[in-house]
């Protein structure tokens, strides 16, 4: 990756003044040199992949109001990871089994509205998380291991991990492309999906499983505790900018990638935990876009007031406005 990027040194050096100001070094030193280390190169690949896939699937999490589910699912993976860790099996496989089991379990408990979704999530989430902590607490290296899983360790990503992450990314993106229009109908109006006789239960579980796969693939980058931010923040930012879901998905994917890259560099140069740096980067981007959107809204309101007090559309009920789109 280092050699490849070296070809674009001229372009990258355009950032010289900015980086000189922020870090006191030129673009080559700040951006390219870290990638000479193999652990940084792998970390960069992992952050980009995870940002991309979480950004995409996160849009469904945001428009369907599933933030709580996403957070719960991330935590529920703990027992699977813990058992795999103790048995020295693949952490990834362990997490994936626990994640999918939780997703299907919550899906099963809430089918036909037997139990309200947030209640079912709360029960399963707390139970699984406690189980995970119970298992890890039997180990001697308790706190170190737990910290690893809770906060991630992107600098420790191995080549095999990257391989699995790539495959997960391909599977998640391909599945969304294949079922895109059905998933949009389900997300916007689940009743309509049933009226036109779509397999709504299958689609609902499919989405839950895709979220589980994304979370497990992202675990090493940001860890259980911060996973939610990767799902929600880029998507929430994108939603402020555009009024159609597929554009929102493209922008969220882009923002996820950008947050991953900037966050990782911040982590490297400022010696901050990588997961936290990535999440904080996406939070800052969100706050900036939110402020811009508010300003734009204000401007629109002032303009509308002076020239055309009654818009033809009548009541505007978008709280965040469809500004800038």
Partner 1 sequence: MSTKQTTPHCPALRVENLAAGYQGVRNAIHDVNFTISPGERVGLLGPNGAGKSTLFKALVGLIPHHQGSISVNGEDCRSSHNLIGYVPQYDNIDWTFPVTVRDVVMMGRVRLLGLFAWPTPRHWRAVDAMLDRVGMADFRQRQIGQLSGGQRRRVFIARALAQETNILLLDEPFSGVDVKAEQEITMVLERLYHEGITMVIATHDLSNATTYYDKLLLLNQTVIAYGEPDIVFTPDTLATAYGGRIGIFHEGRETIVVADEHG
- Candidate list 81, 245, 276, 278; residue touching partner 1; CB under 8 A: 245
Please check whether residue 74 is in contact with residue 279, taking contact to mean a CB–CB distance below 8 angstroms.
no
d(CA 317, CA 303): 18
**Distances from the Cα of 282 to the Cα of 39, 103, 234, 237, 277, angstroms:** 23, 26, 6, 9, 9
Q: Is 116 in the site for partner 1 (CB under 8 A)?
A: no
Q: Which stretch binds partner 1 (CB under 8 A): 16-24, 37-45, 161-169, 182-190?
A: 182-190
Q: Is 244 in the site for partner 1 (CB under 8 A)?
A: yes
Q: Tokens 């294949």 belong to which residue?
A: 178
Name the residue among 92, 125, 105, 128 with its Cα closest to residue 219. 92
- Report 302-321 residues binding partner 1 (CB under 8 A): 313-320
Q: Is 187 in the site for partner 1 (CB under 8 A)?
A: yes
Kindly report the backbone phi and psi dihedral angles of residue 109, in degrees, each rounded to the nearest multiple of 5, phi listed first. Answer: -65, -35
**Residue 132 Ramachandran class (φ > 0 left, ψ -120 to 50 alpha, else beta):** alpha
Q: Minimum distance between the CB of residue 119 and partner 1, rounded to whole angstroms? A: 16
Q: Is 189 in the site for partner 1 (CB under 8 A)?
A: yes
Smaller CB distance to partner 1: residue 139 or 297?
297
Q: Is 182 in the site for partner 1 (CB under 8 A)?
A: yes
Q: Which stretch binds partner 1 (CB under 8 A): 11-19, 137-145, 150-158, 236-244?
A: 236-244
Task: Count other C-beta atoms under 10 Å from residue 151's C-beta.
Answer: 16
d(CA 61, CA 231): 7
Smaller CB distance to partner 1: residue 179 or 268?
179
Q: Is 197 in the site for partner 1 (CB under 8 A)?
A: yes
Binding-site string for partner 1 from residue 144 to residue 173, where x marks contact by CB under 8 A and - marks none: ------------------------------
For residues 241-275, one letter each, b for 16 or more C-beta atoms within 10 angstroms of the residue's C-beta and e for the rest, the string is bbeebeebbbbbbebbbbbbbbbbbbbbbeeebbb
Smaller CB distance to partner 1: residue 22 or 316?
316
Q: Is 297 in the site for partner 1 (CB under 8 A)?
A: no
Please check whether residue 121 is in contact with residue 72, taking contact to mean a CB–CB distance below 8 angstroms.
yes
- Candidate list 1, 23, 63, 261; residue touching partner 1; CB under 8 A: 63
Residue 157, classed as helix, strand or coil, is coil
Q: Minimum distance between the CB of residue 247 and partner 1, rounded to whole angstroms? A: 8
Q: Is 194 in the site for partner 1 (CB under 8 A)?
A: yes
Give the interface with partner 1 as residue ranges (CB under 8 A): 63, 65, 112-113, 178, 181-182, 184-185, 187-189, 191-192, 194-198, 239, 242-245, 247-248, 313-320, 322
């Amino acid at each position: 990756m280092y050699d490849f990027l070296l070809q674009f040194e001229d372009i990258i050096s355009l950032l010289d003044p900015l980086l000189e100001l922020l870090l006191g070094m030129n673009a080559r030193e700040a951006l390219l040199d870290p990638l000479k280390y193999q652990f940084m190169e792998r970390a960069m690949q992992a952050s980009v992949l995870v940002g991309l896939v979480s950004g995409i699937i996160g849009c469904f999490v945001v428009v369907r109001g599933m933030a709580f589910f996403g957070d719960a699912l991330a935590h529920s993976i703990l027992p699977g990871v813990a058992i795999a860790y103790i048995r020295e099996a693949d952490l990834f496989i362990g997490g994936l089994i626990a994640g999918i089991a939780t997703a299907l379990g919550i899906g099963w408990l809430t089918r036909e509205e037997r139990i309200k979704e947030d209640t079912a999530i709360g029960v399963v989430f707390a139970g699984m998380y406690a189980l995970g902590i119970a298992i890890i607490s039997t180990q001697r290296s308790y706190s170190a291991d737990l910290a690893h899983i809770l906060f991630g360790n992107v600098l420790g990503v191995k080549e095999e991990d990257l391989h699995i992450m790539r495959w997960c990314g391909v599977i998640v993106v391909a599945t969304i492309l294949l079922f895109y229009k059905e998933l949009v109908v389900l997300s916007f109006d689940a009743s309509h999906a049933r009226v036109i006789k779509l397999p709504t239960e299958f689609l609902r579980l499919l989405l839950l499983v895709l979220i589980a796969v994304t979370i497990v693939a992202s675990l090493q980058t940001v860890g259980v505790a911060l996973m939610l931010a990767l799902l929600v923040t880029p998507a929430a930012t994108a939603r402020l900018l555009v009024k159609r879901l597929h554009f929102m998905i493209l922008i969220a994917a882009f923002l996820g990638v950008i947050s991953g890259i900037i966050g990782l560099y911040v982590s490297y140069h400022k010696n901050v935990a990588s997961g936290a740096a990535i999440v904080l980067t996406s939070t800052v981007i969100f706050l900036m876009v939110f402020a811009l959107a508010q300003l734009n809204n204000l401007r629109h309101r002032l303009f509308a007031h002076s020239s055309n007090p009654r818009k033809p559309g009548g009541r505007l009920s978008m709280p965040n406005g469809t500004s800038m789109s």
